[in-house]
């Protein structure tokens, strides 16, 4: 989670919300990193999770990220939750919940939907206070 937080801390420099993500393989090696870049890239899909998954797939040479763990500072939205399910990620570890857009229990629970063919293990709340504080500080600064 510390690596994901380090990615998140870089996002505000481009006007992006401070969310960071890393994908690690079964041995703990980092395969991909990402931070929000929607503003920087003018790309609505440039969420930290999607960018980390893309980098991990490129590094692994396959879109199937079986045995991998996605670590992200904020509960994934529906797009990102869908992407990690489709990538066959085995584990999701996230920090702060997202009551406005979270799709891993807050608004929806996409990753545990039994109708889907893959359901990753979920570990929520890792360094949640620290992860949430980054986002709160970012939006507080936007309002001043």
Handedness of CA 115, 19, 90, 99 (dihedral sign): negative
Residue 66 annotated to the active site: no
Active-site position among 7, 39, 49, 130: 49
Q: Which two tokens stand for residue 91?
A: 């584990």
Q: What is the pLDDT of residues 95-138, one digit of tens each?
A: 999 999 999 999 999 999 999 999 999 999 999 999 999 999 99
Instruction: Give the model's pLDDT for residue 142.
Output: 86
Asked whether residue 131 is marked as a ligand-binding residue, the answer is no
CB 39 within 8 A of CB 16: yes
Tens-digit pLDDT profile for residues 54-98: 999 999 999 999 999 999 999 999 999 999 999 999 999 999 999
User: Residue 72 pairs with which residues in a beta bridge?
Assistant: 21, 94
Is 80 assigned to a binding site?
yes
CATH number belonging to the domain at 1-142, selected among 3.90.1410.10, 3.30.390.50, 3.40.50.300, 3.40.140.10: 3.40.140.10
Domain ranges (residues) in the chain: 1-142
């Amino acid at each position: 989670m510390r690596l994901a937080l380090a990615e998140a801390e870089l996002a505000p420099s481009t006007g992006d919300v401070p969310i960071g993500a890393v994908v690690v393989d079964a041995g703990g090696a980092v395969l991909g990193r990402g931070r929000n870049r929607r503003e920087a890239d003018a790309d609505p899909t440039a969420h930290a999770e999607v960018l980390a998954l893309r980098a991990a797939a490129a590094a692994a040479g396959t879109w199937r990220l079986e045995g991998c763990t996605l670590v992200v500072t904020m509960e994934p939205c529906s797009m990102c939750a869908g992407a990690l399910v489709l990538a066959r990620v085995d584990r999701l570890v996230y920090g702060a919940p997202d009551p406005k857009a979270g799709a891993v229990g807050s608004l929806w629970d996409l990753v545990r939907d039994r109708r889907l063919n893959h359901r990753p293990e979920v570990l929520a709340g890792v360094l949640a206070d620290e992860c949430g504080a980054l986002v709160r500080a970012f939006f507080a600064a936007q309002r001043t």
